[in-house]
Amino acid sequence: MGPHGRGGQWVSRARGYWPDAAPAERRASLIAVWGAIVAALEGEIAGAAGALALPDPAAPAATLKAFEDQLDAVVCAWVGVCVLEGRARALGDGDAAIWTPDPRSPPPPYGDRMPASPEPV
């Protein structure tokens, strides 16, 4: 998710995040941020890093946007799991809220990371 709670906005807003950087530097910075997010997700979801291969900085803008959308979807799904497990908190009011994982929450029942695939029942 992008700064200020905006998901799916990195590619189109990269110039605003790094206004003094050349386009190639902005792309490299963008991919570095995505790499940090993917690494953090790997700490929560086993196999996330393997499933979210970072694009090449020279890739077309459409490829970068497609990766951004994929990453945003995985982050949203992870937050949804945290909500369902009681490991998230709502920031807002009775009409609207943004849910964020709560680092003070106890670990999930399956250990410190979500399994890469569900266990057979």
Tens-digit pLDDT profile for residues 49-72:
999 999 999 999 899 999 999 999
Answer yes or no: are the C-beta atoms of 106 and 37 closer than 8 Å.
Answer: no
pLDDT digits (tens, 9 = 90+) for 73-84: 999 999 999 999
| For the chain, counts of helices (H) and of strands (E) | 4, 2
pLDDT digits (tens, 9 = 90+) for 95-111: 999 999 988 877 666 55
Residue 108 lies in a domain: no
Residue 62 lies in a domain: yes
Question: How many folded domains does the chain comprise?
Answer: 1
Residue 116 lies in a domain: no
Residue 10 lies in a domain: yes
Residue 121 lies in a domain: no
Residue 58 lies in a domain: yes
Residue 70 lies in a domain: yes
Q: Containing domain of residue 93, as a range?
A: 3-101
**Residue 45 to residue 96: CA distance in whole angstroms:** 27
Residue 63 lies in a domain: yes
Long-range pairs for 87-93 at CB < 8 Å and ≥24 separation? Answer: none
pLDDT at 118 > cutoff 60: no
Q: Is 92 helix (H, G, I), strand (E, B) or coil?
A: strand
Q: Model confidence at 121, in pLDDT bands (50, 70, 90)?
A: very low
